[in-house]
Amino acid sequence: MPLSRREVLATLGLGIVTGSLQREFEQALDDITLDSDLVQFFENGYSGFKEAARVLPPAQLIDGMTGNVAILDSLCLRHHRE
């Protein structure tokens, strides 16, 4: 049975939080400022995914989309902590 999107995101989150990638991921986020330009960048990216979904199978898009969601989620969490 395929995983739901929620399960995929939870698994991704656990993998980063419990793995050695967490430190590198957090350091990479230190260099990113959450501003309107960044939000526009991700909005444009999602429009691109929407267009690509018309001709590509979901399996070819899910990694990129999941990565974007993980980045945005982490940036939002940081922003709300400040």
Q: What pLDDT, on the 0 to 100 scale, is given for residue 53?
A: 93
Tokens encoding 79: 């922003």
Domain count, the chain: 1
74: Cβ contacts below 8 Å, ≥ 6 apart = 25, 26, 29
- pTM: predicted TM-score of the whole model, two decimal places: 0.68
pLDDT digits (tens, 9 = 90+) for 49-66: 999 999 999 888 888 888
Give the three-state DSSP class for 35.
coil
pLDDT digits (tens, 9 = 90+) for 12-41: 665 665 566 677 777 788 888 888 998 899
Tokens encoding 46: 């999602």
Q: What residue numbers bound the domain in which 41 lies?
A: 5-81
Cβ–Cβ under 8 Å, residues 53 and 61: yes
